[in-house]
Amino acid sequence: MKSSPLALALLLWAQAAGQVPKLDDKTYRIQIDFIRPSADELKWKRIPWRTDLLAAVEEAKSLQRPILLWSDQGNPLGLVDMAPSVNTVIARQQVWSDDEVQKLAANFLPVTAEVWTLATGKGPASEFFHKAGGPSDGGRAHGLYLFTPDGEGLGFQFLSRPKEPVVKLLTEALKKWNEMGSKKGLKPKPLPPRKGNKTWPEIEAKAGLLLQVNARDLPRGNVQHPGKTPEEQGMWNQSFLELTEKEASGFLPQGGPKAAVPDELVRKIARKHLSDFARGNNAGYRTDSFLKKGSMTTETISVKEPLVTVRLHGEMTMEEGTTGYDPKRDGQQLSVTGDHRIDVEGLYGFECTLHGKAVYDTAAKRFVQFELVAVGLRKGLRPKDDFQPNPMGVSFIIEGQYDKPEKGKGQP
């Protein structure tokens, strides 16, 4: 469930007063609900995107359907430690959430892929991609590919936005396919119902913890969804954080009711995910000195066998200079980005408070609920009209845990 109007009004009031929202047991869920995407923002996921190109090819052969491949940096669905690019962020809104586009896409077998891995890789999926005409240069491989299950090209477009050329591309590709199908006597079969709502079920099934991570700009005064142009309004992004069973155990107090979360785990969370990726892919922090201040505690607050509930709280400050930053020359100036470049070398980072709760099932030996949020001020690595410190939030949850909550299970 999304936050109530009153809760959001309080959040906006805090921003109007020039404050970063305070996090505690009563307020952290308001922030999580604001940061994580709404049902409308997830409309693009109504298209049943596959995640394995070779498996999609075999399925397309079985169903006698053409293939629609959406390939971009970070995979449009988000990867572990790698968020999609700004092209994906905008295409979700402008293209794949559009009813006309969704109606056309329903004629294809849809699949996504990470562009650099696919274009520059040497595995079977890359071999199929190259034989089908895909380039081996990752910088030229972003976009939409339409082809038959046998790898015959039906159309290509660099990038996946805006809507109009995508509609034209899909329409023309479908026409070619229908003409082929008519000659060969093909009869497309319907797509089977989607099984489950997990993006990466093979990772989620492992021992340990897989968290969906969302980043979003927080309100500035009375501006609930900041952004200069309509396509920038309310932009959000997602990636995933995978923790081994041993790493995940760091969220449980050891040797008493309250303990520090291990430094290695704090750094892993911060390096890739407590950086500004709300408006596009960000590789995170490069150097080991990025974490200027960072600590997190975990405290047992409830035990109802087999469930143990812990409270998480932390304070972190991340700051780093761009590759060409010279502290003697540049001082405390912030970095400013241009079109895929750094226009002004300088500092960037994120200063935040973290708070949340998690529920561990001692019988299943895994977390059954996890909710953690970071809110604070991010700075630098934005265009010249938005590089100054401004509020941003990052949420960490188990994917789908709010969709169909189990009564009496995993609730703090």
- Give the CATH number, domain containing residue 176: 3.40.30.10
Residues 135 and 211 both lie in one domain: no
Instruction: Please choose, from the candidates 258, 158, 169, 278, the residue with its C-alpha nearest in 3D space to the C-alpha of residue 215.
Output: 278
Domain boundary among 151, 184, 217: 184
pLDDT value of position 19: 65
Residues 145 and 205 both lie in one domain: no
pTM to 2 decimals? 0.92
Instruction: Please choose, from the candidates 345, 296, 297, the residue with its C-alpha nearest in 3D space to the C-alpha of residue 320.
Output: 345
Q: How far apart are CA 15 and CA 347, in angstroms?
A: 24
Which tokens in the block code for residue 285?
A: 């922090």
Residue 313 counted as domain residue: yes
The CA-based angle 124-69-103, given to 5 degrees, is: 150
Strand runs labelled E in 87-223: 109-114, 143-147, 153-158, 209-217
What residues make up the domain containing 373?
A: 8-23+199-397
Residue 305 counted as domain residue: yes
pLDDT value of position 53: 97
Residue 191 counted as domain residue: no
Q: Is the pLDDT of residue 411 over 50?
A: no
Q: Looking at the 3D structure of the chain, how many domains does it have?
A: 2
Percent of the chain with pLDDT over 90: 81
Residues 174 and 235 both lie in one domain: no
**DSSP 8-state code for residue 39:** T
Output 16 or 88, whichever has higher pLDDT: 88
pLDDT value of position 4: 54
Residue 58 counted as domain residue: yes
**287 SS3 class:** coil
Residue count of the chain:
412
Residues 256 and 390 both lie in one domain: yes
Residue 263 counted as domain residue: yes
pLDDT digits (tens, 9 = 90+) for 341-386: 899 999 999 999 999 999 999 999 999 999 999 999 999 999 999 9
User: Mean of the pLDDT values across residues 283-311?
Assistant: 96
Residue 404 counted as domain residue: no
Residue pair 293/259 in contact by the 8 Å Cβ criterion: no
Residues 334 and 223 both lie in one domain: yes
Instruction: Please choose, from the candidates 124, 128, 150, 131, the residue with its C-alpha nearest in 3D space to the C-alpha of residue 64.
Output: 150
Which alpha helices (H) appear in 64-162, and where do they start and end?
A: 86-91, 99-105, 115-120, 124-131
Which tokens in the block code for residue 10?
A: 């309080």
Residue pair 358/367 in contact by the 8 Å Cβ criterion: yes
Instruction: Please choose, from the candidates 100, 103, 131, the residue with its C-alpha nearest in 3D space to the C-alpha of residue 118.
Output: 131
Residues 164 and 203 both lie in one domain: no
pLDDT digits (tens, 9 = 90+) for 250-286: 999 998 999 999 999 999 999 999 999 998 888 899 9
Residues 93 and 170 both lie in one domain: yes
Q: Is the pLDDT of residue 302 over 70?
A: yes
Residue 299 counted as domain residue: yes
Helix-then-strand count for the chain, H and E? 12, 14
User: Cα 81 vs. chain centroid, distance in angstroms?
Assistant: 9
Sign of CA pseudo-dihedral 242, 246, 247, 251: positive
Least reliable range by pLDDT among 33-42, 189-198, 200-209, 299-308:
189-198
Phi, psi (deg, nearest 5) at residue 240:
-135, 150
Residue 357 counted as domain residue: yes
